[in-house]
Chain A
Amino acid sequence: MNIPLDHYLMLSAFLFAIGLCGALARKNAIIVLMGIEIMFNAGILNLIVFWHYRYFASVTAQMFAIFAISIAAAESAIGLALVIAVYRHYKSVTLDEMTSLKG
C-alpha cells in the first residue's frame, strides 16, 4: 500500500472540520453530539494512522485508540442522557432555546 501519510492526515483534517462545522452550526443537540463524535473519530483516525506509518511495532497507539473510543462512548451516553433530560424539561432539543444561564 503506497498511500502517502498526508492523504490520511488531510482526510482526518477534513473530517474534523466537518464535525466542527456540524457542532457549531446546527441547532439540534443530537446533531451537535454527532458532530463531536465525528471530531473524535477524526482524532482517533490520526492515532491509528501515525501508528501505522511511524510506530508499527508499538502497541501504545492502539491502547490510546481503545481508551479514546471508550471515553467517546461514555461521553455520548452521558450526552444523550442529558439531551433526554433536557427534552423532558424544555420539550425541545434545540440548543438556542436553552438559555437559562443567560447573563
Chain B
Amino acid sequence: MDHAALQHLAQQQWWIPLFPLVAAAIQSLLPRGQRKLSAGLCIVAMGVSCVLALRALLATLGTGHHEVERVFFNFTWFHFGTTQLDMGLILDPLTAAMAAMVSFVGFWIFVNATGYMADDDNFTRFFCFLSLFAASMLGLVISNNLLLLFMCWELVGLCSYLLIGFWYFKPAAAAAMKKAFITTRIGDVGFFLGILMLYYKTGTLNMYTADGNGALQQAGALAHVAGWWGLSAASTIAFLLFIGAMGKSAQFPLHVWLPDAMEGPTPVSALIHAATMVAAGVFMVGRMYPLFTAEPGSWVMDFVMWIGCFTAVFSATIAVAQFDIKRVLAYSTCSQLGFMVMGLGAGSLVAGQFHLLTHAFFKALLFLGSGCVIIGTHHEQDMRKMGGLKKYMPITFWCYLIGMLALSGVPPFAGFFSKDEILLETFRRSKAAWGLATFAAFLTAFYMTRQMFMVFAGKWRGGDQDHGDGHDKHDDHGHGHHGGEPHEVPWNMWLPIAVLSVFAIGLGFFSHNYGLYLGVEGGEAAEGKAIVMGASLTVVALGLLFGWLIYGRKTMEHATDEDPLAAMGALFTFLNRKWYIDEFYEATVFRFTAVCAVFFRLFDKLVVDGILHAIAWVAWAISQMFRWLGDEFFINGGFDSGCETVRLGGKTLATLQSGRVQNYFRVLSLGAAILLLIYFFT
C-alpha cells in the first residue's frame, strides 16, 4: 500500500473505537428486557471494529519496506485562549497489531459472555459496560496524543471499576472495585506527572508530528536535558510514565488489585487480563519506548526489568498455592505481565510486545475456559470441589489443555516462543534476572499442571459438602444450585475458546516476522541462545514432571483433602496468603492513616481544647489555692469575680469559633479592609 492510502487509513482510525462506543451508547438506553438486541448489537459492533482493525493490520503488513511505516493524523481539538489542544490518531505496526488483537479477542469474549451472563438480570448493563470498555481500549491504542491516551486510559480504569463491581451487591465485589480504582489511581498520579513534565519540556502532547517536533521525536534531545533524581529529562519522564504502567499492568507494589478483580464476571476477567486493562500499561510503555531508551545506561531500564522480574517470580509463587481457579489464573497474569515488563526493561520492545499479543490469546482462552468450567459446574470456583471434568466437558478440556501448554511454554505453542525471546533478551542483560525468570517459568509450568490435574483429572468431587474453608466465593447470583452433575457448556461458550486455541497454537511461529514487522533489527545473535532455550525447555519439562508427580499420580479424592504441598507448612500458608501483602498494606498504610487520624483527634482534644481547659484549670487552681490560703469571708467575693473574669476569658476565646457564618465573614471583611488600608497608606 502506498503512503497516501495509509495516510488516509490513519485518518479513518477513529471508526474502530466508534462502533463499540455507539453500541454502548445505544445500549445504555435500552430497556432491561432487550437481551438479544443488546448482545447482538455489541457483537456486531465489535465484529465491524475487528474487520476494520484487521484491514489496518493488513495494510501495514503490505508495506514490505524494511523501515517502519508510521502514519499519523493530527488535528486541533479546541483553542484554549491562545494555546490549543491537539488530538491525534496513529497507525503503525504497534497500533495495528494491538488493535487487531484487542478487537479480535474482544469479539470472542463478547460471544462467550452471552453464554456466561445468560442468567443475569442486568444483561444489557453488562454489555453496555463491556462495549465501552472495548471502545476505550481501542481508543487508547490508536491515539497519537498523550491527552487522548490519558483520557482513554482513565476510561479503561472507569470501565474496569464498573465491571469488577458489576455484582456490587456482593461486599467483596464492591471492595474489589474500589481497590482496583484506587490502586490504579496511585499509578495514574505518576503517569499524569509524567505527561505534565513531558508537556513542560517539549511543549506538545502529540507523540509524532509531521514537522518532527512530536514528543517522542524529541526523545533524543530530552536525553541531554537534566531531569530529577540525577536522571535526564527523558528518563525521568519514562520513570513517571512507568509508575502509571505499574498501576495499570499490576506490577509489584501496585499489583494488589488484579487478583481481587476476580470478583467480576469471568468474561470481564478475560477482558481485563487479556485484551484491555493490563495490556494498556505494557502497551503504553511500548508506545513510549523511545523515551525509555533515549538515555543509554540510566537506571530506569534496570528498574523496569527488575520490577518485572520480581513480579514474575513473586506472583508465580503465589499462584502455586491458590485454590480458586480464577485466582490461579490471575496470579499467572501478574507473573506473565512481569515477564513482559522484564522483556521491555531488558531492552527489547519486540519481545515484550510479542508476549503481550500471544499472552492475550491464550490467557483469554484460559479465562474463558475457566468461565466454561464455572458455568459447567454450576458456579463453583474452588478447584478442590472440581475434578474429573475431562469426562463431562471434553471440548473445554482440550481447549484448556492447549491454553495451559501455551502458558507453560511448551513448544510449539505460542507461549514458548514469546517467553523464550524475553528470556533470551534478559539473559543478555542480566544473568541474575534470567535465573529468577527461569525459575518463574518453572513455577508457571508447575502450577498450571497442578491446576489441570485438580480440575480435569480424577473424580468429580463437587458432591462433597462445603468445608467452610473461606476460599469458596460462589457467585450466588441467579440460580445458585450446587452439587448437580457438571455438563458441557453451550456452543456460544465453547466456540470462542476453540477459535482462540487455534491462535494459541499457531501464533508463536510469527515471532521472527513480528520483529521485522516492528522494524527492529537483530534478534538473530546466537550468543546464549542455546543455553537459554535449553534451560527453559528443561525447566518446563521439570515443571510438568513435578506437577504430575505431586498432583497427577494420585489425584485428590475428596474436596476436604489437604493439598500435597501443604506439607511445606508455613511456606505454603505464606504463599496461600499471597505473601501477606494485603495484610502488610493493612498494617502499614491503613494503620498509618488511622494513626494519623487518631493523632489529629488527640491533637484537637488535648492541645486545642487542652489549652483552653488549661487556662480555666489554672485559674481554678489558683482560686482554690487562694481560697484555702486566704480568708473566705473577706476576699471570697473578690477572688470569685477574678476567677469569673479568667473563665470568661476562656469563654471569649472559645467564642472565636462561634459557628456563626457571619462572624467568619465579618472577620474576613475586616481583614480585607486592613489590607486595603495597607495598600492605601503605602
Contact = CB atoms under 8 A, between A and B. Distances in A.
Interface of A: 20, 23-24, 27, 32, 95-96, 98-103
Contact of A24 (B654, B656, B658, B666): B666
B675 to A, nearest CB: 14
26 contacts: A20-B669, A23-B662, A24-B662, A24-B665, A24-B666, A24-B669, A32-B661, A32-B662, A95-B661, A95-B662, A96-B660, A96-B662, A98-B659, A98-B660, A98-B661, A99-B658, A99-B659, A99-B660, A100-B659, A101-B659, A102-B657, A102-B658, A102-B659, A102-B660, A103-B654, A103-B656
Nearest to B668: A24
Contacts of A103: 654, 656-659
A101 B663 CA distance: 12
Contacts of B656: 103
B660 to A, nearest CB: 6
Interface residues of B, number: 11
Nearest to B654: A103
Contacts of B666: 24
Contacts of A98: 659-661
Interface string B636-679: 00000000000000000010111111100110010000000000
A102 B654 CA distance: 8
A16 B57 CA distance: 66
Contacts of B657: 101-103
Contacts of A102: 657-660
Given A23-B665, A101-B657, A102-B660, 14 more contacts: A20-B669, A23-B662, A24-B665, A24-B666, A32-B661, A32-B662, A95-B661, A95-B662, A96-B660, A99-B660, A100-B659, A102-B659, A103-B657, A103-B659
Contacts of B662: 23-24, 27, 32, 95-96
A95 B660 contact: yes
A96 to B, nearest CB: 6
Contacts of B654: 103
Nearest to B81: A60
Nearest to A100: B659
A23 B665 CA distance: 8
Contacts of B659: 98-103
Contacts of B669: 20, 24
Contacts of A27: 662
A101 B666 CA distance: 17
Interface in B451-473: none
